[in-house]
Amino acid sequence: MPQNAKIARADLHFYEEPCISGKNGSGTIFFSGCNLRCCYCQNFEISHLNKGKVISFEQLANIMKELEQKGANNINFVNPSHYLTAIHNALRIYKPKIPLVYNSSGYDILTQSELNTFDVFLFDLKYITPEVSFKYSGAKNYFEYASKAIKKAYSVKENTFNKHGLMQSGVIIRHLVLPMNTKESLKVIDWVEQNAKEAYLSIMAQYVPCGDAFKFPEINRKITVREYNKVVDYALSKNLQNVYIQSLKSATQDYIPNFDFNN
């Protein structure tokens, strides 16, 4: 990927967690490329096929300003890991007065610079088991890095909200339930309870086979009600207080953004 940011979409986005999207939407910037190779990625055309347009630091700064002027609740950097230099350079030109969201797969190494710059960390925690993360995402050491990144952010970011219930700082951990992989989901919940109990856990039901998921028959379908309820019930049995759940109606490609950035 280029040193300058390559982006595929920049607009108000209404399909994040309620404390991120709120009523006005999240000012979301989708970056092209990814440091993982998840076979089922719902954003396959930008994460694998690198669809997007290269922009300057100044253009990125202007995009942030425009999203803020539109009334965005925050600036939400989706998959920023490989563009941190570009983001920091853009923020030197213009820094929004609304929270900055670091929205990533979790496969990160966080420095003090990121901890100082970003207010909300919205991490995936996809897997615990190395064999599973290698099979579906090509990264045997995924959990090693994701767990360290989450714990690092969790140790310094207290959950705070404004009067409208919008998160101003804190950590949200997302977990996408995969077909035939509920045992992995239960391991994730155990880890969250033991290591980041006050973080917000978002248990996602929105899995739809995309990309190369067809190459793995066991995940080439949506999850069942039974699979999702098993995971949610387990989370509730752990007495986790900060949990988001989804309707299985969210398992549709209708919520996948149109990656059409052409400014």
Q: Which domain holds residue 231?
A: 6-254
59 within some domain: yes
Q: pLDDT for 164-208, tens place per residue? A: 999 999 999 999 999 999 999 999 999 999 999 999 999 999 999
229 within some domain: yes
CATH number at residue 103: 3.20.20.70
260 within some domain: no
| Distance between CA atoms of residues 164 and 83, nearest Å | 31
262 within some domain: no
115 within some domain: yes
- Beta-strand runs (E) in the chain: 6-13, 26-31, 53-54, 75-78, 100-104, 120-124, 160-161, 167-176, 200-204, 243-245
Residue in the block written with tokens 């202007």: 62
> Mean pLDDT over residues 72-90, rounded?
97
pLDDT at 263 exceeding the cut of 60: no
* Domain count of the fold of the chain: 1
What predicted TM-score, i.e. pTM, was given to this entire model?
0.96
Q: pLDDT for 197-209, tens place per residue? A: 999 999 999 999 9
Nearest to 174 by CA among 251, 252, 232, 104: 104
62 within some domain: yes
